[in-house]
Amino acid sequence: MALVLQTDYAWPDTSIERGVIEAAGHSFVAGPSVPSPADEIAALVAKHRPAAIMTCWAQVSGAAIAAAPDLAVVHRIGVGLDNIAMGEATRRGVLVTNVPDYCVGEVADHAVALLLDWARGTVVFDRDVKAGNWNPAAARLTRISDLSIGIVGFGRIGKATASRLLAFGCAVSTVDRGRETGMNVRAVPFEQLLGESDVVIVHAPLTEQTHHLFDAQTIAQMKSGACLINVSRGPLVDNHALLAALDAAHLSGAGLDVVEGEPEPPRALIERDDVIVTPHIAFSSAASLGELRRRSAEEVVRVLAGLPPENPCNQART
């Protein structure tokens, strides 16, 4: 029997995870739902010395990984790996796994929803009508099929977003990585995508190389009047650069499911009428969360049984 520690969770309880783990003969311990600071997570790991760590948003630092000498796997209950000390895990022979495809449709749908809100004014006019106004003459709306869309990050979710936008009749492009897109999507240089796109949708992972990918210089290269949509990770976009571009009317709007500084993003940015914000929920639906939690626990059970993981994210030698 092994002990599995779940650091945090973004749903009402851990019943699904606990059920799968305990049915396999292992014990299960969960931390608080709200992620604790990294040093507290390390202390929690040192206290329980688990064979497996499951984490949602909490930072699993190198110190946390070092605090569990029998640790076999750190599992990200989600897709992104920016909250796990990958180098330390690999160095210590600890597998890192995730569930890369549980919410492809949800995130793609959310990106398109933010685009539609920007183009058709649904959020802005809803607020206006509820404030007591009825002014259809104020509408300055956009025909969706006339839009050129640039998608930065063309993995599973980027492709799903493209398929939805192609159905609307949009012209879609992505960054040229030297290979065919396999769809009616142009592959163009990054600078060309920025200059031609009415809407840029960010689906890229957060790494050292992509941190503040959209800074003052990059945003300045975007088409005048364009909209920037980020449904990936907040730090891909420099808040100050985005705010300056909106103030200067270089960009006409932004759709943000993620914001650098969340869960307390800068009020000067998120309170603007030309910014649509949701609280990092693009991944969420009843179906996606149930699938995520079950598959996460099953992956941990698989590794603890000595079987190869379905979704290894590093080259740890076990």
pLDDT digits (tens, 9 = 90+) for 74-101: 999 999 899 999 999 999 999 999 999 9
Residue with tokens 């760590």: 53
What is the per-residue pLDDT for 182?
85
Section 290-309 average pLDDT? 97
CATH no. of 3-100+285-304: 3.40.50.720
Section 113-139 average pLDDT? 96
Q: Among 152-156, 176-180, 229-233, which stretch is predicted with the lowest mean pLDDT?
A: 176-180
Query: Would strands 226-230 and 171-175 be described as parallel, antiparallel, or unpaired?
Result: unpaired
Whats the size of the chain, residue-wise?
318
**pLDDT exceeds cutoff 60 at 236:** yes
Question: 180: pLDDT confidence band, cut at 50, 70 and 90?
Answer: confident
Kindly report the average pLDDT of the chain as a whole number. Answer: 96
By the 8 A CB rule, do 299 and 99 touch?
Answer: yes
**pLDDT exceeds cutoff 90 at 11:** yes
* CB neighbour class for 107 (10 Å; exposed up to 12, middle 13-18, buried from 19): buried
Beta bridge mates, 175: 188
What is the per-residue pLDDT for 293?
97
Q: What is the pTM of this model?
A: 0.89
Section 151-173 average pLDDT? 97
The domain locations on the chain are 3-100+285-304, 104-277
pLDDT digits (tens, 9 = 90+) for 39-63: 999 999 999 999 999 999 999 999 9
* CB neighbour class for 211 (10 Å; exposed up to 12, middle 13-18, buried from 19): middle
Domain pair 3-100+285-304 / 104-277, same fold: yes
Which member of 75, 110, 233, 293 is catalytic?
233
Closest CA to 259 of 244, 274, 281: 281
* Domain 104-277 class in CATH: alpha beta
Section 139-156 average pLDDT? 96
233 is catalytic: yes
**pLDDT exceeds cutoff 80 at 317:** no
Q: Which whole-number Å values give the CA distances from 285 to 92, 103, 105, 195, in the listed order?
A: 35, 8, 10, 34
Question: 161: pLDDT confidence band, cut at 50, 70 and 90?
Answer: very high
Which member of 22, 88, 262, 310 is catalytic?
262
**pLDDT exceeds cutoff 80 at 318:** no
Section 222-241 average pLDDT? 97
What is the per-residue pLDDT for 315?
84
**pLDDT exceeds cutoff 70 at 120:** yes
Question: 196: pLDDT confidence band, cut at 50, 70 and 90?
Answer: very high
